[in-house]
Chains A and B, each alone.
Chain A
Amino acid sequence: MTGRVLDWLLAIAGGVLLTLMTLSNAVLARHTDALYASWAAHAVGAVVALLLVPAIARRGAPVRAAGAARTPLWYYLGGIPGALVVVLSAVAVNSELALAGTIALMLTGQVVFGTAADHLGLLHTPQRRVTGTDLAVAGCVLAGSVLIVLGGA
């Protein structure tokens, strides 16, 4: 249970990091444009992550169990859908949806994808039973998030 609590806190802390990232990237985008801002952030991020590998992950990569399959090539390509979002969201933000509508729908898409991925075991994720409580949690968080996004500052 304590392990799970730590995972929960880490995931929430991840969200805080994401807010800080969005905040800095927005300043950069204001001085330049959204595409350049994301491009530069990826360059800085690559350097920082590269420096962190020996500093923090000193225990090295997890030892692969003998006989485990080779890592598929597409495991390395998670950066492409992530970077594609930068381009596509710029299109959506400039439509009638505006920023708030775009963000609300993006959050919805994330939760729906997460639910489908767990339920069906998409992208090699272990299949998990999605419980009623899980759905209720997701429903409350999603509804609350949409209220926050649409409710203005």
Chain B
Amino acid sequence: MLFFVSLALLNGVLIGASRTINGQLGTRAGAFRASVWNHVVGFVFLSAVLLVLRTWPDITDVPVAAYAGGVFGALFVAVNSYVFPRLGAMSASVLVISGQVLSAVVIDCVQQGTLPAPVRLAGVALVLLGLSLPRITAHLRRKDP
């Protein structure tokens, strides 16, 4: 169990490292070129993995719309590479995660036509509280003579 916990944590570290490196390249080459490199290098790497594992699924009945993920991915890496060096790895990660989980809750709501479970609503409130903390502390400091 500890192995899988460490593996999942390592995954998070790898995501952070990937986004930080892309951000660094973005400062040299521009955010969109960083997105190109990210996708080309990732594609070559995954091609090698596919060749080694020799797995190839049946792709005959895939809706074309399912391939739209690549479009969102290309835009995401560009946006992310732009903001990472500007905000710092920590703030950028936290803000991207906020956008991710909040939009996921909204999409689930719309798709299922129901309100989120109370635990989820508490989570949304906590995320929103976190995002407004800098404003709140700045406000308190102004009031404090």
| Interface residues of A, Cβ cutoff 8 Å to B | 7-8, 10-25, 27-28, 31-33, 35-50, 52-53, 56-57, 60-62, 64, 71, 74-89, 91-92, 95-97, 101-102, 105-115, 117-118, 122-126, 128, 130, 133-134, 136-153
Contacts and interface: CB of A to CB of B under 8 A. Distances in A.
A52 B38 contact: no
B131 A92 contact: no
B120 A39 contact: no
| Majority-rule SS of B interface residues | helix
Given A42-B43, A79-B37, A148-B124, A137 B130 contact: yes
A136 B11 CA distance: 23
Nearest to A96: B1
B145 interface: no
Given A10-B79, A15-B100, A79 B45 contact: yes
Contact-residue size bin, chain B (C-beta under 8 Å from the other chain): 35 or more
A123 B18 CA distance: 10
A78 B41 contact: yes
28 contacts: A11-B83, A14-B83, A15-B97, A21-B76, A24-B66, A35-B53, A39-B43, A39-B46, A39-B47, A39-B50, A41-B69, A43-B43, A46-B36, A78-B17, A79-B18, A82-B19, A112-B12, A114-B16, A122-B89, A123-B20, A123-B24, A126-B85, A138-B130, A140-B129, A141-B97, A141-B127, A148-B124, A152-B119
